[in-house]
Amino acid sequence: MRRVTSVKTKQDYTLALTFDDGTEGEVSIADRLFGPMFEPLKDPRLFAQASVDEFGAVCWPNDADLAPDALYTKVKSH
């Protein structure tokens, strides 16, 4: 399983990601911003607080998180 080592937020709910094998890419999560965990991320101030947890997942202060393997698959498919 890959791990995210770096995340930077960009406009339009896009994440610029670096993985532990050196792979880099961008993923838009605009289509995932629904439901009780992800809808609050529509607030640009909260979205900008993305970080990487100890498991290599992208996470936010409201406990929303994205699995690194799913993000890696999206990056590699582009």
Question: What structural domains and CATH numbers belong to the chain?
Answer: 4-77 (3.30.2020.10)
Rounded Cα distance between 6 and 15, Å, is 10
d(CA 59, CA 69): 14
Share of the chain above pLDDT 70, in %: 100
What is the 8-class DSSP label of residue 12?
T
Got the DSSP string for 51-71? EE-TTS-EE-TTS-EE-HHHH
Do 55 and 28 contact (CB within 8 A), yes or no?
Answer: no
Cα–Cα distance for residue pair 72/23, rounded to 1 Å? 8
Question: Model-level pTM?
Answer: 0.95
pLDDT at 54: 96
pLDDT at 4 over 80: yes
